[in-house]
Structure 1
Amino acid sequence: MSRTFIRCGQLFTATATQPLRDQTVIIAKGRITHVGPTAEAPQPAADDAVVDHSTRFVMPGMVDTHTHLSYGGAASEEEVDLYATLEFRTLRALHASQSMLRAGFTSLIDPACSGMVSPAVRDAIECGLYPGPRITSAGPALTSHQGLYDYYPSWIGSPAVSSGLLVKSREDAIQHIRRQAKDGVDMIKIAMDGTMGDRSRGLYAAFDQDEITAMVREAHRLGRKVGVHARGIEGALYSARAGVDIIYHGSRICSEGIAAALDNGTAISPSLLMLVNNIQYAQPEDPSYSWWPNIQRKELDAARRCLAAAYEAGVPLLNGSESGFAITLYGDWAAKELEITVDLLGLSPAEALLSATRAPASFMREQRIGSVEVGQQADLLILAEDPLHDIKRLQDPACITEIWLAGHKADLTPPAPARRHASEDSQGMWNRRYTRAVTAGITPQSLAITPSAQ
């Protein structure tokens, strides 16, 4: 049986916060079989391969616990749910997963998708039909009439191709959980933020305590993890009390919610990238520019305090970028989430790396990941520079020398540029109302037909 010997200049095993120097990792049949000082390593046999990374930084492949593969870089809820066929979204999602792999993420959680798009991509990769990262996936998120995913007016309802599934009673929710478990999801996603209450209360919870507790109990009985979207105080509190596995966001989690999360083994995926990018980069031409960035500034201010308090108390934080929107495109931005946790939540670079490696492992479909230890999957990231000195190096494609998945090097060749298909975009025709007062400042264009329009 041939083996692969990787000589490591620095090795971050994710079992400690400091890297080891001059180490050798041995891989056989996709698994790590030896880790130790190079001077004490076994000698390679004639048919073994030796890979020299003695000048480089080696670490486990990263995990992103919040990637929406079916969203396709959407600029609106309508583009997430209504445009492009499910079949096209599935092929597009495969492309998205490979973009995340090339950015250093060998494992992903997709906590809500259209139909069974992401489980299908997961299965195609696992069966060897296509290369890609390891995927842990939910199906459509369960929502009430108060919940996040019930986007559309009541007379339209929740479309069958939506990334949200409207449930109308506790019994209805239980039946949908059973069906999703039958269909092969790894996680049940629940939208726990509801509509705005009075200013002192903030967001109402979309489900009451009895409802969320019953849903979590049933999902866990069926061996599924539970993730919830909860930015508000009440949704995060009820979710933590119910013992959900992951709270996505948790921006305003209170001290009682933190205590419940500690009691019940609940982790938080802060997913602050969308807030930060929208605040930093949104332009006046964007329809939400006049109101959304300011709302997100307020949430970010709360998150800095509440999430830091949760982490200080011992609640695990899991790296998650919420990749999939126009402001959080696949692969481009995912590693910035680690920089944000360092700069805004006070994690050290090593703690940020742990949030993207060892910490998420127990929440994944394949749990033998996230650390460089004997018996683990040989998912490795080879870097030209040390991210413990500058966590931003993870955002530089030139810093990523190699990515190993199950003991094999991934192809990092950038794909040919892909254009958007006409079916993907909602028909946002104008960004303003053209009153006579508005048009008074615009020079009318010629009515002559241009050659390109003929």
Structure 2
Amino acid sequence: MTTMTMKSIVLRAPRVWLGEIGSSVESGAVAISGGRVESVLRPGDPVPAGATVVDYPDCTILPGLVDAHVHLLFSALDTALADAIHDSDQTLILRGVANAQDELRCGVTTLRDCGGRGLLSLSLRDSVNAGIISGPRILASGAPITTTGGHLHFCDLEADGVDEVVKTTRRLCKAGVDFIKVMATGGGMTPGTNPRAPQYTTEELTAIVSEARRLGGRRVAAHCHATEGIVRAVDAGITTIEHCSWLHEKDGRDFRLEVVQRMVERGTYVVLTMGSERAAVKPESELTEAQRAAVKGWGEHLELQRRTVRGGVRFVAASDAGVARTFFREYPLTLEVMALLLEIPI
């Protein structure tokens, strides 16, 4: 987290959790200096001289949360698509500030912005880093690479064929993105695209990965709903598979254990974007008809996510905040739902 003032502070609470199972410190404290965590204090450890002590008698202190997949420029409203298309750059930037600060207030200190219009997310990142605004640390991809008319094409970065995707990757790296985001399949937010079909060939994805690595060792994240898109992304050396929905090309799901095994062998991560799954633990009165229908159909989806994780694939928690009904302020609920539905011990 970047703030505009830096001072020494000690936070005390009945419990300090260090981020691993069984790693709690009872009656502990966290010493912060210059905006950075210096140490965890155990009972009897001296408080640094001159530090301001703040007590949280009914709380647990834990490390800053990481939300590995958000869209800061999106509104999270039912009108999220129209807002992303029609709102001005100025409105998108102001929305991005508000959304980043919502994430910060609920404990997120690092996030990955996985796509929005142009290079606006880089301005947000740089403003946080410069202390102009407060917010989490932002890793920004800029606009996602997509095919002509492909998923999130309204973010203004369409590229077709090996030559175009290489040139586009070079432009993004020149602009200073932290990583590359590519839409390997269609998506539900963009009318006219097909989430069950790949958008890029393995050759095109491999070219993006190769160029990103050459230009600063950048990693590539691939939006993947269709199983064939997942296969191509893994074979191309993509670092993170976003969503990993295992959609069959025509209907239902198409889980492939051999692909899971390839992910394990290649060190591929899956980013589980489970923001919409919050609906499973919310009162039915707060849900739209579409959300109610989605909840009823999640059984197989969640079982395949469990099988992916149990197969040894390393996974990262994320919300996909910004898409309709997936609010930035609710990220802790996303983690609760992930642990509950995927049966992950905390």
State the TM-score, normalizing by the size of structure 2: 0.84
Q: Tell which structure's C-alpha radius of gyration is larger.
A: 1
Instruction: Kindly indicate whether the alpha-carbon contact (under 8 Å) linking 1:70 and 1:80 is maintained by their aligned counterparts in 2.
Output: no
2:40 is the counterpart of 1:42: no
1:87 Cα offset (Å): 2.1
2:260 is the counterpart of 1:262: no
CA distance in 1, matches of 2:185, 2:53: 52
Residue in structure 2 matched with residue 53 of structure 1 by the alignment: 56
CA distance in 2, matches of 1:96, 1:31: 23
2:167 is the counterpart of 1:175: yes
Residue in structure 2 matched with residue 19 of structure 1 by the alignment: 24
Counterparts of 1:342-353 in structure 2, within 5 Å, are 342-348=339-345, 350=346
Instruction: Kindly indicate whether the alpha-carbon contact (under 8 Å) linking 1:80 and 1:163 is maintained by their aligned counterparts in 2.
Output: no
State the TM-score, normalizing by the size of structure 1: 0.65
2:180 is the counterpart of 1:188: yes
Instruction: Kindly indicate whether the alpha-carbon contact (under 8 Å) linking 1:146 and 1:206 is maintained by their aligned counterparts in 2.
Output: no
Structure 1 gaps of 5+ residues are 151-161, 197-201, 351-454
Instruction: Kindly indicate whether the alpha-carbon contact (under 8 Å) linking 1:243 and 1:265 is maintained by their aligned counterparts in 2.
Output: no
Counterparts of 1:292-331 in structure 2, within 5 Å, are 294=293, 297-298=296-297, 300-331=298-329
Instruction: Kindly indicate whether the alpha-carbon contact (under 8 Å) linking 1:195 and 1:206 is maintained by their aligned counterparts in 2.
Output: no
With over 3 angstroms needed to count, the CA separation of the structure-2 counterparts of 1:296 and 1:257, relative to structure 1, is farther
2:211 is the counterpart of 1:206: no
CA distance in 2, matches of 1:2, 1:137: 28
Residue in structure 1 matched with residue 275 of structure 2 by the alignment: 273
1:126 Cα offset (Å): 0.8
Residue in structure 1 matched with residue 240 of structure 2 by the alignment: 246
Counterparts of 1:367-446 in structure 2, within 5 Å, are none
Residue in structure 2 matched with residue 163 of structure 1 by the alignment: 155
Instruction: Kindly indicate whether the alpha-carbon contact (under 8 Å) linking 1:251 and 1:303 is maintained by their aligned counterparts in 2.
Output: yes
CA distance in 1, matches of 2:53, 2:156: 49
Give CA-to-partner distance per residue, 1:223-280, whole Å, 9 cap, x none.
2221111112111122122222221111225212212221222211221222553996
Structure 2 gaps of 5+ residues are 1-5, 189-194, 247-254
CA distance in 2, matches of 1:29, 1:187: 28
Residue in structure 2 matched with residue 69 of structure 1 by the alignment: 72
With over 3 angstroms needed to count, the CA separation of the structure-2 counterparts of 1:146 and 1:262, relative to structure 1, is farther
| Residue aligned with 1:91, SS | helix
2:93 is the counterpart of 1:96: no
CA distance in 2, matches of 1:106, 1:174: 32
1:308 Cα offset (Å): 0.9
Of Structure 1 and Structure 2, the greater helix share is in: 2
With over 3 angstroms needed to count, the CA separation of the structure-2 counterparts of 1:313 and 1:33, relative to structure 1, is same
Q: Which has the higher contact order (CA 8 A, sep 6+)?
A: 1
Higher mean Cα deviation, 115-124 or 238-247? 238-247
User: Over the residues paired in the alignment, what is the CA RMSD in angstroms?
Assistant: 2.7
Match of 2:267, as an amino acid?
G
| Residue aligned with 1:66, SS | strand
With over 3 angstroms needed to count, the CA separation of the structure-2 counterparts of 1:164 and 1:225, relative to structure 1, is farther
Match of 1:175, as an amino acid?
K
1:35 Cα offset (Å): 2.3
1:148 Cα offset (Å): 2.3
Count of aligned pairs between the two proteins: 323
1:53 Cα offset (Å): 3.5
CA distance in 2, matches of 1:2, 1:195: 45
